[in-house]
Structure 1
């Protein structure tokens, strides 16, 4: 049926949503456990630093492995190992034997496995859906991720940890185990769609896997596919820049909210609620916007929207403009994410998609780590309000740069043209 996502998609959706519900609980509970061991701010912030390292250091390698292995198997193994790690940590918490070393180990190992799971999930989703449904499928998945992790997972963790410190981690282990079972229930790839790059479920002799002499060449091919394709290159660079711009301010958000906006704890929490509602709206309208405008113009529009909203937040005198700004930031960011993810899935050959996705994500992780290290330095030389305002102007600049650096699209058919840089990667002969 036209527009129906199908049982296999919804099974994958359920698996991802369940895993993200557990992530939301752990993200809240793990810093609280660390705080019970040490109240040194440096010890606590190291959790975020360790969590960002795997995506930066291992992301491209994970992409190579995902392109060589069965994607469902990679996700299932990652979820299974994460379940074992979290359940083992829950036993440590229950026995009162937690220390910072175990906290840091969990903070590194879970994101490491998540890199493999996420790198495999994007190409798997592209296998299960025809091109015309990619935006819709991604928007539903992103909305569910946000609601499960940020809206449901956080308050559930607060309730569970009030009963027992180990309960959020026991629940997280159960969600990972359930996610593993569900992804194993996703049956083979969708039937090939005529003209769609990467539609063939197996790569024939003479394609990228057999031609590559090793991991190094695989990595170079993934980077080349990004760098030599204008819109894909723009997506990778812009996403990294946007991550740096937004996360530099986010690292100082609580300071800005308390000192400049003078918000109460309850009002501060409302900022995230506003962003969540805006994100849900953005995810809902993203398929329509991308279908009407195309990927390049949608990137420009959403980046300018993010920039104007962040600048408004930097100028906010109090709660109400701050809430409206966070709502708009959430909506514009979601439109951007849905549009660029769907575009990458559409144009990237099946044999390259893991590397392309993981490498672009590694750039974003690197920007996030740099933002965390830069925020404190900037706060020493200027005001937090100035940092927020400058971030908005920089995001608008990213949008303007995209307007002049991305190719002009002559229609949706041209937008679906596959990456041309690695001949034979999708099983077609070189022209």
Structure 2
């Protein structure tokens, strides 16, 4: 019998989709506005560094707060507080008075609010859905993010920028209003562990440090969760270090035209949607462990192929494969994390793993250019692929050892 995802899920999905549509517009417009103010590459790179730094510093603390309060209201407030700074910057851009510090401040404020929204969304999804639908639910939310940001939001931004550079900021503010309304329409629903959301009691508040240690303990004592956290950090560093130099690699090493360069992102987006939608069936057939290891290995192999590519077709096929495998891996990790973590601790566990990813993103933003200057861009792609493949083999070995120990202990 087919089980429906339910009204609460689709309201959460709709809230995320609307917010991501505006994000896709802003992510195109913001660098262009910054570039119009300063053409210094370091000034532009600082945008990515600032957005990652916020999550690295306060991410774990956000996890504690999310586990203490109503997650629906955390998401609502996180979306609502982003409206005013976006509208303010929109007016500054319209008046031609936007400066770099305005952009930096906007990036910091938006990233802080986004951390709350993302950290609360993961455990709320686990509250709403039964365990058997976690892969399916995550896949659809992740696919909506890719579609809205990369396929719908980016072209829409290009059209709006032709009218005024300020419009994407106003539209993004409006999408956050819509996202807030949708999440507030989510009814009080029973969690999959039988505790009603309105009856959720806050955990002991004697020590923030103690609560963080509890979250870390869950990761430490769950081998697949621990390995996945480390592997995800490596993957994020590899992909983002390469992405920071992608335009240099595409134009210089691969000799792509501007149109072909843009099609790389379309290929990755299409692959991501396909990978996300296929993940539930893959997990049902092969199991979570095999899915995690195989998709991680394919991600590395595809990055290696991208580093060895010559011309558009081989590069496009590799980028499509990266999208399929990396997205399937992320869906599997999220669903597994939600399944094995007590719901009252999901905020902390998610925020700790995300802080590791933010650290990888910050490191990639800071060192990507320096590595490329000394080694060239192609070696970054090749070495990154080999590193991710090595992680998958280590993942296989360490989790197999744990399984073997458990099996021998049961004899």
TM bucket by the smaller chain? over 0.9
| 8 A contact 1:312–1:325 mirrored in 2 | yes
| 8 A contact 1:199–1:350 mirrored in 2 | no
Cα distance in structure 2, aligned partners of 1:98 and 1:375: 28
> What residue in structure 2 maps to residue 429 of structure 1?
none
> What residue in structure 1 maps to residue 233 of structure 2?
240
| Alpha-carbon distance, 1:89 to partner | 1.5
Aligned pair 1:262/2:273, yes or no? no
CA offsets 1:321-343 (integer angstroms, 9 cap, x no match): 00100000000011101101001
Aligned pair 1:386/2:366, yes or no? no
Cα distance in structure 1, aligned partners of 2:96 and 2:48: 23
My pick for the range that moved more, 369-378 or 112-121, is: 369-378
| Alpha-carbon distance, 1:294 to partner | 1.9
> What residue in structure 1 maps to residue 60 of structure 2?
60
| Alpha-carbon distance, 1:409 to partner | 9.0
Cα distance in structure 1, aligned partners of 2:307 and 2:41: 26
Residues 61-210 of structure 1: pairs in structure 2 closer than 5 A: 61-190=61-190, 192-193=191-192, 196=193, 199=195, 201=197, 202-203=199-200, 209-210=203-204
How many residues were matched structurally? 403
| 8 A contact 1:263–1:319 mirrored in 2 | yes
CA offsets 1:307-333 (integer angstroms, 9 cap, x no match): 111111111111110010000000001
| Alpha-carbon distance, 1:43 to partner | 1.3
> What residue in structure 2 maps to residue 314 of structure 1?
307
> What residue in structure 2 maps to residue 293 of structure 1?
286
2:39 aligns to what SS in structure 1? coil
Cα distance in structure 2, aligned partners of 1:341 and 1:59: 17
Aligned pair 1:48/2:45, yes or no? no
| 8 A contact 2:82–2:173 mirrored in 1 | yes
| Alpha-carbon distance, 1:95 to partner | 2.3
Structure 1 stretches of 5 or more lacking a match? 415-431
My pick for the range that moved more, 399-408 or 273-282, is: 399-408
Cα distance in structure 2, aligned partners of 1:138 and 1:102: 34
| Alpha-carbon distance, 1:381 to partner | 2.5
2:252 aligns to what SS in structure 1? helix
| Alpha-carbon distance, 1:200 to partner | 5.6
Cα distance in structure 2, aligned partners of 1:79 and 1:125: 17
My pick for the range that moved more, 112-121 or 285-294, is: 285-294
Aligned pair 1:281/2:274, yes or no? yes
| 8 A contact 1:231–1:407 mirrored in 2 | no
Structure 2 stretches of 5 or more lacking a match? 407-411
| 8 A contact 2:231–2:388 mirrored in 1 | no
2:189 aligns to what SS in structure 1? coil
Cα distance in structure 2, aligned partners of 1:33 and 1:362: 28
1:209 aligns to what SS in structure 2? coil
Superposition RMSD in Å = 1.7
Q: Go from structure 1 to structure 2 and tell me whether the alpha carbon gap of 1:304 and 1:280 turns closer, same or farther (over 3 Å shift).
A: same
Cα distance in structure 2, aligned partners of 1:84 and 1:373: 30
| 8 A contact 1:51–1:111 mirrored in 2 | yes
> What residue in structure 1 maps to residue 409 of structure 2?
none
Cα distance in structure 2, aligned partners of 1:381 and 1:40: 20
1:406 aligns to what SS in structure 2? helix
2:323 aligns to what SS in structure 1? helix
> What residue in structure 2 maps to residue 32 of structure 1?
32
Cα distance in structure 1, aligned partners of 2:234 and 2:78: 29
| Alpha-carbon distance, 1:127 to partner | 0.7
| 8 A contact 1:294–1:409 mirrored in 2 | no
Cα distance in structure 2, aligned partners of 1:320 and 1:385: 17
